[in-house]
Homo-oligomer: A and B are copies of this chain.
């Protein structure tokens, strides 16, 4: 019975891939080789990569600290980290735009530094970071939590400093979770539309491009881009599954 739902996903995607790749490959290739489309896809992958990089650098210390310590307000902090998952995407966009618009308090500070968010790469990166970092932090936290703290304690008694025991023991043992969290966060960034479209309609990321083409040219023009994105996502996802499986062993 539950398979109905899986079948539904399968048919939905198969229907699209079949139509494009087998019934009308000519149209597919002409549209996906359009340089505007390719540029938007490249921008999406690149912006999401930057967002993930920031999430990894800022997230690892936070995840490690939260996995190892109990403190007053920890649950509140966990709640705060999860908030972006459940906030409607356009709401997140409005919130970010309100803060970072050139007229806003924070936005004007950044403008003086030469960084503009509205309709720019940085706006896209910030929107993607906002919606994707909880996925990274939670995965990394789970990774560190799965490492028995006694292993680090033993390393300490063996003569390793706190930093060294982290670097030799916890980090490598948590790395499958960290890598799969980073891929998840990257994929989440690629999939975002609502938050990005509010803060930066231009330059167009792939989701926006699909939406734009759908509104101007209907399915005919939007389906090929959708198919290309699905193929890219499958690739990322295969990577993700590979690391998840490794993690479970």
Contact = CB atoms under 8 A, between A and B. Distances in A.
Interface of A: 1-6, 8-13, 15-16, 19, 55, 58-63, 65, 75, 77-91, 93-99, 101, 104-106, 129-130, 133, 137, 184, 187-188, 190-194, 197-198, 206-208, 210-211, 214, 219, 222-223, 226, 229-230, 233, 236-237, 240-241, 245
Given A16-B99, A75-B245, A86-B240, 9 more contacts: A2-B137, A6-B62, A12-B99, A86-B188, A88-B210, A89-B192, A91-B210, A94-B219, A95-B230
A72 B146 CA distance: 27
Contact of A219 (B15, B101, B194, B219): B101
Contacts of A59: 2, 5
A81 B6 contact: yes
Contact of A193 (B16, B60, B88, B97): B88
B58 A90 contact: no
B226 A94 contact: yes
Nearest to A105: B15
A59 B208 CA distance: 32
Given A4-B58, A15-B95, A89-B191, A9 B84 contact: yes
Q: Quick one: which of A5, A19, A58, A214 has the most chain B CB within 10 A? A: A5
A86 B236 contact: yes
B214 A90 contact: yes
A90 B219 CA distance: 12
Contacts of A233: 83, 86-88, 91
15 contacts: A2-B61, A2-B137, A5-B59, A5-B62, A5-B129, A11-B99, A13-B83, A16-B95, A75-B245, A86-B184, A88-B191, A88-B193, A89-B89, A91-B210, A91-B229
